[in-house]
Copies of this chain bind each other. A is one copy, B any other.
């Protein structure tokens, strides 16, 4: 009667959703302040004041027909030009507005790329741990997601495992750095090695292998770490960006795809991206917020709270006996669970009202994700509970 696969996708609650709802129920019983919900990736930093001011200025000063009217499908040309120049200033690239395609956030951006590129029997490669929605987004195009197992000591790329999985069916490789869930930023050396392998294999197989850079966390990086701009190292790169995290606008669905001129078959790729956006019914990215992000191009993200939270939670967990790769970006910690079965571990954590997401959900069993985009005070009060949980495991 309905499409069963759609029903499955829409009716099965995700682990994160289930945890979130459990948290809401527990909060009703024990009180909001006694629930320590580390499950969600919803930014708790409010959108910056300059965003509010930009909305007010546009709505008060500009012609409503221009503000709220359709834009052309790739997005307002002036907006795209402004954003391209802003990217150029920061990353020494040479883009123009014609290299950008505005999208409803990064989820739409990556899926438009998958749909635009996917041909029968194609495979897309992701590196574990990875954002679990990749699976259904790739499979919805008819392609297959191939996962490279994690390199546990540092969550960089296991190139031996990668070489075993790249083949004549590989259409693209997805890189998400700073990474959800590990918080790791892929180093320049890693990016260069990845690019070299992609060059080598594209030549060997006689077909273009694309790199899809999923970059919603680009601006959320600490300690002065460099986040390489991937199109500078591999020409067949599509950069997918979102303002969800950097400007705390996840509900507004605003981002873009960069399609560099140097990409093989630029007009084919750009055309296919336009076609994919059309059939996915992303008619245009929301028009007011196109103008808002252009007004705020190049403005800094306020990551001071995340930075403080990272240090507090990381140091607290390490002191309690957890082992964890120190994240350099995003707002997640991805420590080792205190028993092999990460789902069992997360269940036990519930006894202290600590709500954590099993690493299995990210293709990385034996670990757990703790989002620290929550109130600093909540993290502070959670630390004794993490210590008691660790003590239960003899730490």
Contact = CB atoms under 8 A, between A and B. Distances in A.
A8 B71 CA distance: 21
Interface string A285-299: 011110000000000
Contacts of A3: 115-119, 141, 272, 275-276
B276 A6 contact: yes
A2 interface: yes
A190 interface: no
A18 interface: no
A248 interface: yes
Contacts of A108: 281-283
A258 to B, nearest CB: 16
A63 B42 contact: no
B280 A280 contact: yes
A217 to B, nearest CB: 16
Interface string A48-63: 0001100110011001
A264 interface: yes
Contacts of A111: 279-281
A7 B275 contact: yes
A55 to B, nearest CB: 5
Interface in A74-112: 104-105, 107-108, 111-112
B252 A288 contact: yes
A47 interface: yes
Contacts of A44: 65
Contacts of A250: 68-70
Given A59-B56, A64-B248, A278-B136, A105 B7 contact: no
Interface in A250-292: 250-253, 264-265, 267-284, 286-289
A59 B55 CA distance: 8
Given A10-B116, A47-B65, 11 more contacts: A1-B264, A1-B269, A9-B274, A10-B270, A10-B275, A10-B277, A44-B65, A104-B253, A107-B281, A107-B283, A281-B282
9 contacts: A1-B119, A2-B117, A3-B272, A5-B275, A11-B267, A55-B59, A68-B252, A251-B288, A288-B288
Top 4 closest pairs, chain A to chain B, by CB: A251-B287, A10-B275, A10-B274, A11-B271
